[in-house]
Amino acid sequence: MDESNFKTIGEVLTKEPIFQKLNEAIKNEEIKVNFEKIFPGLSEHIEVVKTEKSVLFLKVHNSVFRNDVKANEELYINKINTFFKEERIKKIKLS
């Protein structure tokens, strides 16, 4: 049997179209899980609600932080994308 036809489980899970939604769900959850690492101390004031179609939905508990996120949205996006070394977020929506 030709070994070049074999794929690792990781290759199958990340490259096969059937697992695309699973991969998106995992990537979205990673943002939620790593938010405190990316923005230390902000999780007390900002909660990740969900990520959908490259849009990060945040619940902000304080108007000062809401204004900061809105004014520095591009910085927040860049910091998240830099952390993951790929473009995962294009926009932030606040609630």
Domain ranges of the chain: 3-94
Percent of the chain beyond pLDDT 90? 67
Q: Are 28 and 85 in contact (CB under 8 A)?
A: no
CA distance 11 to 9: 5
Please give the pLDDT value at position 11.
Answer: 82
Please give the pLDDT value at position 5.
Answer: 77
Other C-beta atoms closer than 10 Å to the C-beta of 82 total 11
How do residues 5-47 score in pLDDT, each as one tens digit? 788 888 877 788 888 888 888 888 999 999 999 999 999 999 9
Q: Hey, what CATH class is 3-94 in?
A: alpha beta
Q: Give the residue-averaged pLDDT of 72-82.
A: 98
What is this structure's pTM?
0.82
